Amino acid sequence: MDSTFTLKKTALLPLLLLFILPGHPSAQETLTINKAIAHVLEQNGGIQAALKEQAATRHGLRQAARLPNPELEVETENLGDATTSLKLSQPVELGGKRKARVRMARADSLKAFAELETRRAAIIAETHRRFYKALSHQKQIEQLDSLILFAESIKTNIEKQVEIGRSGKTELLRSMKDITLLRIEQNTLVREYENSIIALGALWGAGKNSIQGVSGELQTSRRSAIRDSLETYVEQSPLLHAALAEIEAAIAQENASRAQGVPEFSIKGGYARDAGAGDNLYSLGATVGLPLFNRNKDAVAAAINRTGAAGKKADELRNELYARLMQSLGQIDQLEFKATELKERVIPQTGEVLVELRRLFEAGKSGYVELITTQRELVDAWRDYLTTETEIRLALADIIELTGQQ
């Protein structure tokens, strides 16, 4: 066969490697997953709101520890022969009222911190999801670009064969149609990529044109450490921390309800001046509430029940977290097996078939349809592989949201 119209196998191999090996990030791909997370934690409105809530509870904790203010009473009787009295009283908190109040404030602080942890884990997980969806679109565009380049090289070869009468125009028209369809698919992917970049930046209010691109690898290592320390990861879950904070809040309310059943008590001291008689009178006393009708027993019973309910909910959540983590890990195992088979077997084998069919096509021993079908099988295998790696990343994002651990 005339070498003028034949691409040598050595010239074809670098082109094939564009399919088999991942493309390198372009110079514009400046946003890594770590940078994206840093932007989110610094600028996301939900995180900032949770931080302010946590700061508010610190003020509430200090306020709860303060002692009640004394009361000053001044009274004048018989304006003609005035009798003026001055009394000072100080409430005394008995029954652990102040301690219970402080514990309730501390429980509020724990709940606010758990809320911050939960929001932080959720927003980091969502950042992972949006980042790796964008990266997946980018990788698919790179592979589709390679396929278009490959298809155009075949079209050039067909054009030359048409010129010398070795091939009809039907195959040339099919080749042109296939390239057009690939460009339509490429345009769709580019739009999806742009939308995914916008969705990523929306997490921290980034403008439409402020992100040039993303950079990173879809493939990730196995999370055997999670499986080996699953119970530890469950106990570190922000969701479980929130449930435990609810238990502490219920216990604090129970203690506060008990303390409220203790009567109010105040000590008083005073001075009175009788202007008519010219006498000075001094007084000292105390005031105590009488728990005749209300000892707050029902409030205590209600608080005890709420404490028990909070404990049961925490136990149920702990079991649910364990089950969900096991489910996610099982899903990752299946996806990693599939990704490995696609990358190490299916893609290289399909690539070898494509090289051989290309050689046969140029030698006139194979048709265009069989060649282009194999090309499509290769790009579909690559897309399946990239989609599988993305699904692994999404499953890992679910684990991040559940455990708060990256």
Q: Is the pTM of this model over 0.75?
A: yes
Q: Identify residue 214 by its one-letter amino acid code.
A: V
Residue 202 CA to residue 206 CA, distance in Å, equals: 6
How far is CA 359 from each of CA 11, 151, 172, 280, 378, rounded to the nearest angstrom?
12, 14, 18, 121, 17
What's the rounded mean pLDDT across residues 130-159? 90
In 3-state terms the chain splits into helix, strand, coil percentages (rounded to 5) of 70, 10, 20
- Per-residue pLDDT of 216-262, as tens digits, reads 988 876 555 677 788 888 999 999 999 999 999 999 999 999 988 88
Fold observed for domain 3-66+98-261+297-403: Outer membrane efflux proteins (OEP) (1.20.1600)
Question: Residue 115 is which amino acid?
Answer: E
Give the separation between CA 166 and CA 111, rounded to whole angstroms.
Answer: 78
**CA pair distance 126, 55, nearest whole angstrom:** 25
User: In the numeric block, which tokens belong to residue 109?
Assistant: 């602080």
Q: Label residues 115-145 b or e (16+ Cβ within 10 Å = b).
A: bbbbbbbbbbbbbbbbbbbbbbbbbbbbbbe
Q: How many Å is the maximal CA-CA distance in the chain?
A: 138
Higher-pLDDT residue of 324 and 274 is 324
Angle, CA 244 vertex, CA 239 and CA 250 arms, to 5°: 130
List pLDDT tens digits, range 95-123: 888 999 999 999 999 999 999 999 999 99
Rounded CA gap, 88 and 90, in Å?
7
Give residue 170's pLDDT: 85
Where along the chain do its domains lie? 3-66+98-261+297-403
Beta strands in 175-224 (DSSP E): none
Q: How far apart are CA 14 and CA 3, in angstroms?
A: 19
Residue 150, pLDDT score: 86
Whole-number Å distance between alpha carbons of 402 and 124: 11
